[in-house]
């Protein structure tokens, strides 16, 4: 089963999602910066491929529920950011990162390295084929809800973010989502689930938005 890209929340750690209407919009809401987290990739792949469900040279495919995720990189005025360099990383379907400091006892997936390198197209679009990441325990004693990390870079700006999935039981207790108010984030902006979303960046800078 493939998760519809229209049902995803694309968040940037503390993930603000703002609905972008079909009417004219003066400014899109910027996505706040977030930390890289402890599992930022140590080794990036030598290949550039949107398909994270396989590793070149191996016959197998990643375990888990396949999701087809696409979006756009935009400035808050709605203009396109083409050629944005993107690094996307995540845990596998069991909740384990391909990272030397991840001590989660969940199994690694030999057909999933959990990292993709790509650039936004001339119209600001990107796409990845991956698997839905699993939840995992963190050092504070709780569980992180399923999420995907984004590091988006242009010549004059860098945005680090996370994408969350609506309807997850762990969302309400997640260490980042549940502390948004204390960290001056608008909690209401990540629970929208309409046809299109925009992710906040810094004022006047860039956002990521799902395809309309």
Q: Of the listed 144, 185, 189, 200, which one is catalytic? A: 144
Given a contact cutoff of 8 angstroms between Cβ atoms, the answer to whether 130 and 2 are in contact is no
User: Which residue, among 128, 147, 56, has the nearest Cα to 86 in the 3D structure?
Assistant: 128
- Clarify whether 206 is annotated catalytic: no
Catalytic residue among 20, 75, 96, 149: 149
Task: Using alpha carbons only, give the angle 121, 127, 129 rounded to the nearest 5 degrees.
Answer: 155
Residue 47 bears catalytic tag: no
Among the listed residues 29, 97, 99, 126, the single catalytic one is 97
| Residue 5 contacts residue 210 (beta carbons within 8 Å) | yes
Per the residue annotation, which of 20, 72, 147, 185 is the catalytic one? 147
Edge-to-edge strand ranges of the sheet holding 198-199: 17-18, 198-199, 206-210, 66-75, 125-131
Known catalytic membership, residue 147 = yes
Q: Is 144 a catalytic residue?
A: yes
Active site residue 138: no
Tell me whether residue 95 is exposed, middle or buried, using C-beta atoms within 10 angstroms of its C-beta: 0 to 12, 13 to 18, 19 or more.
buried
Catalytic residues: 97, 136, 144, 147, 149
């Amino acid at each position: 089963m493939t998760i519809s890209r229209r049902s995803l929340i694309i968040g940037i750690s503390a993930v603000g999602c703002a609905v972008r209407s079909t009417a004219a919009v003066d400014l899109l809401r910027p996505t706040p910066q977030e930390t890289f987290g402890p599992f930022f990739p140590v080794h990036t792949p030598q290949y550039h491929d949107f398909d994270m469900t396989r590793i070149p040279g191996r016959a197998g495919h990643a375990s888990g529920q396949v999701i087809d995720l696409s979006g756009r990189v935009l400035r808050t005025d709605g203009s396109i950011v083409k050629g944005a360099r993107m690094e996307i990383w995540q845990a596998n379907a069991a909740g384990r990162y391909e990272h030397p400091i991840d001590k989660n006892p969940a199994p690694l997936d030999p057909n999933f390295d959990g990292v993709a390198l790509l650039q936004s197209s001339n119209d600001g679009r990107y796409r990845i084929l991956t698997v839905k990441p699993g939840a995992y325990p963190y050092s504070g004693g709780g569980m992180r809800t399923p999420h995907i990390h984004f590091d988006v870079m242009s010549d004059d700006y860098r945005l680090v973010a996370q994408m969350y999935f609506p309807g997850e039981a762990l969302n309400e207790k997640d260490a980042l989502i549940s502390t948004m108010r204390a960290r001056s984030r608008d909690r209401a902006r990540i629970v929208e689930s309409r046809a299109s979303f925009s992710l906040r960046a810094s004022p006047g800078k860039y956002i990521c938005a799902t395809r309309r």
